[in-house]
Amino acid sequence: MTPGAINRSTPFGVGSEIQTLPAFQHSERNDRVILPFDKLRVTTVLVMLSLPTGQAGLQKHASYRRVPFDKLRVTVVVILSLPKYYLRSMYKKSLTKEQALQKLKHYCAYQERAHSEVKEKLYDLGVWKKDHDEIISTLIEENYLNEERFAIAFAGGKWRVKHWGRVKIKYELKQKQVSEYCIKKAMKQIDEDEYMTVLKKMADERYASLKSDQYMVRKKKTMDFLMARGFEMDLIRKAVEDKA
């Protein structure tokens, strides 16, 4: 079946009628857009019952509060949507592989990037999916893209600048689809003594800022604060256990 077409012989029910909305139109051109059915997602399904317009005897049935089910028409409305990344690329002018590669070299040279970020950028640029693997391979071969280097830079930056704990850093790296091996390499770059010193200092400052609260409440709020920053629970307990 042609992509974007609907089989009108599909047995929806005896006497059923199938109606489809007009195909999407480009804003500047009058040609039809072929919808990629493999990427469509069902957002909402509405089932509506109605009587034909001008149905004879409707008032008679209404007076008895009865509905002539043999006369009812079933209308099913299925609302479909496309992923955002596909919609962005769908209406953008497609770049050649060479043009996309140059843009991505600048993108990766500006700062370290994860593979997932480069893939999303390829969709943003409107690059054909069949060219993605080749472009990413070239970036890796020419050392513009390196997952281990990205993981180390990301972990180091979040620790030194924002003082995120290891739990939060690991979570964010996993969200960016970084491998477990690279995550472990990145965690080794955080000095253990410095980590504990910063944790203790943050615990002291947070606890001191809660002078108006009762002792147990101050400890609870301090622990919650440190958990939100991504520190390990066992280390948090050690940092606040001597608070009085």
**With bands split at pLDDT 50, 70 and 90, how would you rate the model's confidence at 202?**
very high
Give the mean model confidence (pLDDT) for residues 154-161.
95
- Measured in whole angstroms, the distance separating CA 159 from the mean position of its chain's CA atoms is 24
8 A C-beta contact, residue 46 and residue 76? yes
Distance CA 241, CA 232 (A): 14
Number of domains in the chain: 3
Instruction: Specify whether 54 is located in the same domain as 103.
Output: no
- Residue ranges in the chain assigned as alpha helix (H): 58-63, 84-90, 97-110, 115-124, 132-141, 147-162, 166-175, 180-187, 192-208, 215-228, 233-240
Look at residue 214 and tell me if it is in a domain. Answer: yes
Local confidence band at 157 (pLDDT 50, 70, 90 cut-offs): very high
What amino acid occupies position 55? Q
CATH number of the domain at 139, please.
1.10.10
- Same domain? For 47 and 19 the reply is yes
Q: Are residues 138 and 196 in the same domain?
A: no
At 17 the pLDDT is: 42
Report the SS3 class of residue 214: coil
Euclidean distance between CA atoms 39 and 81, whole angstroms:
9
- Has residue 57 been placed in a domain? yes
Instruction: Please check whether residues 68 and 117 belong to one and the same domain.
Output: no
Whole-angstrom Cα distance, residue 26 to residue 35? Answer: 12
Which residue is it, tokens 């970036």? 139
Distance of CA 188 to the CA centre of its chain: 29
Residues of the domain holding 244: 191-244
Which neighbouring-strand residues pair with 50? 73
What's the confidence (pLDDT) of residue 84?
63
Is 93 domain-assigned?
yes
95 vs 172, residue with greater confidence: 172
Q: Is residue 169 part of a domain?
A: no
Tell whether 164 is covered by a domain.
no
Q: Are residues 75 and 15 in the same domain?
A: yes
